[in-house]
């Protein structure tokens, strides 16, 4: 345990110190916010110095504490990472509270379950979310497929970021007024690195939502590692919409440049603002869009000094193209997960030079400890050679990680038997199958779990397949990822018809129950996007799946192929069979294409 008020070990300690009177960074620009492009292009809308940032954070914390926010309290957080959002998030943490990220785009049932699990006492929300979650704008949002929770009805204290809009609850405090108030250091708690600071819901069901909890100390450890990867220094500019990289910039005394829109929404404007930037963070899909824009002549061929790429597998093909199109940028692939980030990084040139099997992700970063645990059923089948070929003994196991940036634990574990009193996590089982090469670098070879990564969203098939399988006429349902050249995945939903379903015309096979995979019989699986069941399933999906889990294509299969000694569904075979149906870009659910065979 660290001592309470260990300023140097707390995420906010180094940042607030830079704003102190007499510090060299006091008058330097900490935050820069851009407008959307107009007739004269995008321009700087707001700049906040380190001194201003420190005052606003501690003034916000003072006001929140006076309103009853106590150390250990939790605050729902739904504000974009603009200066006001950064100040508000830091203010909650400075007051001893925990920021709780809950996706408003999840189903209402899941949102309610997650709020109930977190047990917040405060909701910090953008004014616009209040406005579109009730009244006429709610109907408009619903017509466009966005079903938002009614934030204003949450029985909590409220703070809104942005101007007052219809729908903001009566009594809500304006974030800008909190930040403009006085600072009372005596009313603020000590900076304790071991205190919980961030909770992020990653998956789970309505019965048991799953959330990762980090302390202020573990967040600092992870941000310090990222700062060192970029070799950031005072005066550098980091252009990103992600706190993942914005906070390390502040720790280094650099300027966090915040775009008006993320790269996925306006890659051209984002790319123009990368010129002369020290660094940025991109997911593989963003890299593809950036390179497309450069090659099309939409933006000049000038990138940042360093581009960190992560959030999904980073392929050799993507890095080869990136280094060819923007050779002046240092491309770095990062491997990690919400539970512990970052774990490892690998330079593009190193990954491109790697000629072995698997996905090279690099050596564990300083302080990160990696272990491989045996996984049942992952050894070679009878009569087959080990992964390295005849005569080789390459150890493959589940990657288990620990280190200073490890999470405190999962929320449901930390809150048992009572809130915040559960045992802290000592390590994290990643579910990734890996090996270690002769130089100590990690090489990923697969996953023990069937998680799909599309964009920045983790999709866990096991959460959603039972819902689809329960639909009338459906026998089996599997969600599979279809890898793309840029490392992203598309999502295919493969269904079989229930036994004797009159609507689909499928007869009842002899001895079949309609539930559970049938024997392969040695034949290739047939996929059909035009089967009568497909339209029925597609129409029902918005009511049973979270918006972010909706598939790119829905396909009917004559059966589910099986593999391995355990005769589990062969997701790899289904992925290969579904590939011809899946477009390179995300499409409308179930868009018609023509069939193929595995």
Q: Give kind and range of the element (H or E) at residue 106.
A: none
Residue 414: per-residue pLDDT:
95
Best CA proximity match to 468, nearest among 477, 455, 460, 459: 477
Q: Mean pLDDT, to the nearest integer, of 395-416?
A: 95
Mark which of 431, 447, 463 sits at the end of a domain.
447
Contact 403, 388 (CB under 8 A): no
Residue 5: per-residue pLDDT:
56
Average pLDDT, the chain: 86
Q: Mean pLDDT, to the nearest integer, of 171-192?
A: 97
- Token pair of 26, please? 């006091």
> Model's pTM, two decimal places?
0.80
Q: Give kind and range of the element (H or E) at residue 177.
A: helix 175-179
Mark which of 168, 202, 219 sits at the end of a domain.
219
300 assigned to some structural domain: yes
246 assigned to some structural domain: no
> The domain that contains 503 carries what CATH number?
3.30.300.30
pLDDT in tens, 477-495: 999 999 988 888 999 999 9
571 assigned to some structural domain: yes
More confident residue, 375 or 21: 21
- Cα angle for residues 584, 281, 162 (degrees, 5° grid): 100
46 assigned to some structural domain: yes
Best CA proximity match to 226, nearest among 202, 197, 254: 254
pLDDT of 315 > 80? The answer is: yes
- Check whether residue 179 and residue 46 sit in a common domain: yes
- Check whether residue 379 and residue 282 sit in a common domain: yes
Confidence of residue 592 (pLDDT cuts 50, 70, 90): very low
Residue 528: per-residue pLDDT:
95
Q: Mean pLDDT, to the nearest integer, of 156-169?
A: 94
383 assigned to some structural domain: yes
- Token pair of 375, please? 């996984």
Q: Mean pLDDT, to the nearest integer, of 180-187?
A: 97
Residue 371: per-residue pLDDT:
96
Residue 208: per-residue pLDDT:
77
Q: Which residues pair with 360 in a beta bridge?
A: 443
Q: How far apart are CA 420 and CA 249, in angstroms?
A: 30
Confidence of residue 520 (pLDDT cuts 50, 70, 90): very low
- Check whether residue 178 and residue 45 sit in a common domain: yes
Q: Give kind and range of the element (H or E) at residue 581.
A: none
Residue 289: per-residue pLDDT:
93
228 assigned to some structural domain: no
- Check whether residue 329 and residue 404 sit in a common domain: yes
pLDDT of 381 > 60? The answer is: no
318 assigned to some structural domain: yes
More confident residue, 105 or 253: 253
Distances in Å between the alpha carbon of 390 and those of 357, 385, 438, 489? 15, 6, 18, 32
Mark which of 219, 243, 278 sits at the end of a domain.
219
Tally the domains of the chain: 3
More confident residue, 494 or 150: 494
- Check whether residue 384 and residue 488 sit in a common domain: no
pLDDT of 322 > 50? The answer is: yes
Residue 585: per-residue pLDDT:
58
> The domain that contains 296 carries what CATH number?
3.40.50.12780
Strands (E), 248-380: 255-258, 279-282, 306-309, 330-337, 340-347, 359-362, 369-373
What DSSP string describes 136-159?
A: HHHHHHHHTT-----GGGSSSEEE
pLDDT of 387 > 50? The answer is: no
- Name, in order, each residue with C-beta under 8 angstroms of 297's C-beta and a sequence gap of 6 or more: none
The b-or-e profile of 190-222 (16+ CB within 10 A means b, else e) is ebbbbbbbbbbbbebebeebbbbbbbbbbbbbb
Burial class (CB in 10 A: 0-12, 13-18, 19+), 23: middle
Q: Report helix, strand or coil for 272.
A: helix
- Check whether residue 284 and residue 404 sit in a common domain: yes
- Check whether residue 520 and residue 562 sit in a common domain: yes
Confidence of residue 40 (pLDDT cuts 50, 70, 90): confident
Q: Mean pLDDT, to the nearest integer, of 174-195?
A: 97
Q: Mean pLDDT, to the nearest integer, of 83-93?
A: 97
Residue 112: per-residue pLDDT:
87
- Check whether residue 478 and residue 507 sit in a common domain: yes
Q: Mean pLDDT, to the nearest integer, of 416-442?
A: 93
Neighbouring CB atoms inside 10 A of 52's CB total: 19
- Check whether residue 432 and residue 497 sit in a common domain: no
pLDDT of 256 > 80? The answer is: yes
Residue 563: per-residue pLDDT:
74
Range of the domain at 501: 454-581
% of the chain surpassing 70 pLDDT: 86
Residue 523: per-residue pLDDT:
62
pLDDT of 30 > 50? The answer is: yes
Residue 508: per-residue pLDDT:
39
Strands (E), 455-541: 457-459, 474-483, 489-497, 527-528
Residue 486: per-residue pLDDT:
82
- Check whether residue 199 and residue 311 sit in a common domain: no
- Check whether residue 375 and residue 467 sit in a common domain: no
pLDDT in tens, 205-227: 667 788 999 999 999 999 999 99
Residue 146: per-residue pLDDT:
63
Residue 590: per-residue pLDDT:
37
What DSSP string describes 54-103?
A: HHHHHHHHHHHHHTT--TT-EEEEE--SSHHHHHHHHHHHHTT-EEEE--
User: By mean pLDDT, which of 93-107, 210-224, 426-440, 573-587 is the weakest?
Assistant: 573-587
More confident residue, 254 or 108: 254
- Check whether residue 467 and residue 440 sit in a common domain: no
Contact 525, 84 (CB under 8 A): no
pLDDT in tens, 460-483: 787 788 789 889 999 889 999 999
- Name, in order, each residue with C-beta under 8 angstroms of 299's C-beta and a sequence gap of 6 or more: 267, 268, 271, 272, 290, 293
Q: How far apart are CA 543 and CA 137, in angstroms?
A: 21
534 assigned to some structural domain: yes
pLDDT of 586 > 60? The answer is: no
Residue 119: per-residue pLDDT:
96
């Amino acid at each position: 345990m660290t001592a309470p008020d260990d300023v140097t070990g707390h995420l906010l300690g180094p940042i607030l110190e830079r704003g102190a009177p007499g510090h060299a960074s006091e008058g330097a620009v900490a935050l820069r916010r851009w407008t959307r492009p107009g007739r004269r292009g995008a321009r700087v809308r707001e700049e906040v110095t380190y001194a201003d940032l420190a005052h606003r954070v501690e003034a916000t914390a003072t006001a929140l504490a006076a309103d009853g926010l106590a150390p250990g309290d939790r605050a729902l957080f739904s504000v974009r990472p603009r200066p006001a959002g950064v100040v508000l998030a830091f203010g909650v943490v400075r007051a001893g509270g925990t920021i709780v990220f809950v996706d408003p785009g999840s189903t209402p049932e899941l949102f309610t379950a997650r709020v109930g699990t977190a047990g917040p006492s405060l909701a910090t929300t953008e004014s616009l979310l209040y406005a579109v979650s009730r009244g006429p704008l709610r109907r408009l949002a619903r017509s466009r497929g966005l079903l938002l929770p009614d934030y204003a009805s949450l029985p909590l204290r409220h703070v809104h970021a942005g101007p007052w809009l219809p729908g903001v609850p009566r009594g809500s405090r304006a974030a800008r007024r909190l930040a403009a108030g006085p600072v009372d250091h005596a009313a603020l708690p000590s900076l304790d690195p071991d205190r919980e600071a961030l909770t992020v819901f990653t998956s789970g069901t309505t019965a048991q939502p799953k959330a990762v909890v980090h302390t202020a100390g573990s967040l600092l450890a992870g941000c310090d590692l990222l700062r060192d990867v970029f070799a950031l220094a005072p005066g550098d500019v980091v252009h990103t919409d992600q706190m993942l990289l914005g906070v390390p910039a502040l720790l280094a005394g650099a300027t966090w440049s915040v775009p008006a829109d993320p790269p996925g929404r306006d890659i051209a404007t984002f790319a123009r603002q990368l010129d002369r930037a020290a660094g940025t963070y991109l997911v593989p899909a963003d890299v593809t869009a950036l390179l497309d824009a450069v090659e099309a002549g939409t933006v000049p061929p000038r990138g940042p000094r360093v581009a960190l790429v992560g959030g999904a597998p980073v392929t050799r093909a993507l890095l080869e193209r990136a280094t060819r199109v923007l050779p002046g940028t240092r491309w770095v692939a990062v491997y990690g997960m919400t539970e512990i980030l970052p774990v490892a990084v690998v330079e593009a040139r190193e990954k491109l030079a790697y000629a072995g099997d698997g996905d090279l992700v690099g050596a564990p970063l300083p302080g990160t400890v990696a272990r491989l645990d045996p996984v049942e059923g992952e050894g070679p089948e009878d009569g087959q050679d080990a992964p390295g070929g005849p005569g080789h003994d390459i150890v493959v196991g589940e990657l288990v990680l620990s280190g200073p940036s490890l999470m405190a634990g999962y929320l449901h574990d930390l809150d048992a038997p009572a809130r915040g009193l559960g045992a802290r996590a000592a390590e994290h089982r990643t579910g990734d199958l890996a090996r270690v090469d002769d130089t100590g670098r990690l090489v990923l070879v697969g996953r023990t779990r069937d998680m799909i990564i599309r964009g920045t969203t983790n999709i866990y098939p096991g959460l959603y397949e039972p819902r689809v399988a329960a639909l009338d006429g459906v026998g089996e349902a599997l969600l599979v990822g279809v890898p793309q050249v840029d490392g992203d995945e598309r999502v295919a939903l493969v269904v079989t018809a229930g036994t004797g379903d009159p609507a689909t015309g499928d007869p009842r096979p002899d001895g079949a129950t309609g539930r559970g995979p049938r024997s392969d019989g040695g034949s290739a699986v047939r996929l059909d996007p035009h089967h009568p069941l497909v339209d029925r399933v597609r129409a029902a999906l918005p009511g049973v799946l979270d918006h972010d889990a909706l598939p790119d294509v829905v396909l009917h299969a004559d059966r589910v192929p099986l593999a391995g000694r355990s005769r589990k569904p062969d997701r790899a075979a289904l992925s290969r069979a579904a590939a011809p149906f899946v477009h390179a870009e995300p499409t409308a659910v179930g868009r018609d294409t023509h069939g193929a065979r595995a």
